[in-house]
A = this chain, B = another copy of it.
């Protein structure tokens, strides 16, 4: 059965609530992270992330992000059973939000996060703009 593409319902004309109406959940930004930070490109890549998203949920989140224009989906050029997901500019532009989450967690959940993440946070603290741009290969 095809994914039921419910139109997004905006609760108000506030940019914050509207953004949350689009990707204010526990998975959407993680998929963006997987792509920017870990280079995830296939369904399987996302499935293997540490948080263990279920395939049902992954499927509908990818569909939603695609319908929002945050990612694109293309066929692999040589392997017919693989699809490739890619971030659009609209998707890459969510990275600053993610960077701020990293900074906040580095400050308030320090004991809990990985060393690699701490390193990234330190870079962000040192030079937010530069680090974000470097990560986005600009």
- Interface of A with B (CB < 8 Å)? 10-21, 24-26, 29-30, 33, 50-52, 90, 93-94, 96-98, 100-109, 112-114, 117, 121
Which residue on B lies nearest to A99, using beta carbons? B100
Could you list 28 examples of A-B contacts with CB < 8 Å?
Answer: A10-B112, A11-B50, A11-B51, A11-B52, A12-B50, A13-B112, A14-B113, A14-B114, A14-B117, A15-B101, A15-B105, A17-B33, A17-B50, A18-B105, A19-B101, A19-B102, A20-B29, A20-B30, A20-B101, A24-B29, A25-B25, A25-B26, A93-B107, A93-B108, A94-B104, A96-B103, A97-B97, A97-B104
Chain B residues within 8 Å of A104, by CB: 15, 19, 93-94, 96-97
- What number of copies of this chain does the assembly contain? 2
